[in-house]
Amino acid sequence: MEWKRKGGPELVEAFRRLPERHQDARLIILGVAPDVRVPRCEIVGPVPADRVPDYYRQAAIFCMPTHIEPFGIVFVEAMLHGVAVAAPRLGAMQDYIEDRVSGVLFDPDSVDDIASALCYLLDNPRNRQEIGVRGFRAVHGNYDWDAVGRLLRAEIEPCLPRE
């Protein structure tokens, strides 16, 4: 929802810099409707939460070059859908994304680095698919609501009075 803080302008510029061999790539922007005029870019704008999974299902890559993101739940969501992620090398993303294993990490302040991460995923469809699978495995059972519930229960139960 926060176009500039989430790195929207940098993503658009990185997309513009993709080499000619990736002219079939499309950029789909959800959540906001910035005034962006770039070939092969679709601005969807705000989407009801129950429709977001439809976009994950049609995506090959999820990228949000955010500048400030303590955890990055949106990357976990994409990974739970088996989508290969390109994520900034900051915050907790570095804890649950192993570079070129369960995602691709980049310097969020470098448009060239963002474009390079996208190119790596576009140039290597087999690796991209494997990254999506490994990303799913990295977060499934660890960051879904059942896992969070188990962790909360384990922390809270010892504090409850015994009868």
Q: What average pLDDT values come out for the chain (163 residues) when binned by 10 residues? A: 92 96 96 94 95 95 94 94 97 94 96 98 98 96 81 89 83
Q: What is the pLDDT of residue 118?
A: 98
Alpha helix segments (H runs only) across 24-99? 52-58, 73-80, 93-96
Secondary structure letter of residue 41 according to DSSP: E
Q: What is the pLDDT of residue 145?
A: 78
pTM of the model: 0.88
Q: What is the pLDDT of residue 26?
A: 97
Q: What is the pLDDT of residue 147?
A: 80
Spell out the residues 6+ positions from residue 81 whose beta carbon is closer than 8 angstroms to its own. Answer: 53, 56, 57, 59, 136
